[in-house]
Structure 1
């Protein structure tokens, strides 16, 4: 990260540590939105329409949260980085198989992906609490929404009889 052009409300250590948490979150959210759109285009099966529309909700929420996270990073003096190469190199979100994907496979994939992202978010929330309560609050709000999306995906999975 280069020297900030924005005066941070945090000290240098807090700014740097909050920046790492926000950057990790940004990468997860951008990748989640990209994977959601990829699945949206390639999902097939008897629940196509339901899953197709649910993926739009996933993409919209991830993009909205990514924007909020990037703006928080900028507000604390850290330049956010969501370039394709950065996202590809830093993502921890499980990747989709290529080609057409059944509705069951898509829902199952996103249930697993959300579980992993939520686990990392909860770790970031804990770490942010020692650094910056405003960033922590933002991460809590985003995690609450991710957990709502996860619940909806799990309900879809259970309705199809494909849940664990």
Structure 2
């Protein structure tokens, strides 16, 4: 089995790999939480929030693919398995059943804020070890911050 030789030092690879794996878990779970809310949404603002949740899902799915591919490019195996996600996610899960639009907006606003905080930590951590990964994380964080602003404006 062939392995990708990393362009990074062992220490830089460790820091960068951890940042990418954490980002991957956050983005996979964000896509799942947003889709769960999308399917179970109710309320006066159903259509707007329903469609907005799909934007978050699209962003999260595109970001997770970029993050996973960056990991492989530097010699780190991304782990997006369900068990890994269940064991490592820090995102609070939504209640089962129908979800009122105002509660979804508040929950997604909070989830995005938490993920953004972790992305900013990863951005700081990858400044020296791998500016290329840092740039990727900055781009995703900017998109997450835009979604956070748009959800927060609905509260």
Q: Deviations over 1:18-49 (max 9, x none)?
A: 11100000000000000010000000001111
Matches within 5 A, 1:12-161: 12-157=10-155
- The Cα of 1:130 is off from its aligned counterpart by 2.3
Q: Which runs of 5+ in 2 are unaligned?
A: none
- The Cα of 1:11 is off from its aligned counterpart by 1.2
Q: Distance in 1 between matches of 2:75 and 2:10?
A: 10
- The Cα of 1:70 is off from its aligned counterpart by 0.2
Q: TM-score, normalised by structure 1?
A: 0.92
- The Cα of 1:103 is off from its aligned counterpart by 0.2
* Ranges of 4+ aligned residues in structure 1 off by more than 6 Å: none
Q: Deviations over 1:93-124 (max 9, x none)?
A: 12111111000000000000011100111111
Q: TM-score, normalised by structure 2?
A: 0.97
Q: CA RMSD in A?
A: 1.2
Equivalent pairs counted in the alignment come to: 155
Moved more, 58-67 or 85-94: 85-94
Q: Deviations over 1:46-85 (max 9, x none)?
A: 1111110000000000000000000000001001001111
RCO (CA 8 Å, sep 6+): is it higher in 1 or 2?
A: 2
- The Cα of 1:13 is off from its aligned counterpart by 1.5
Q: Distance in 2 between matches of 1:51 and 1:70?
A: 28
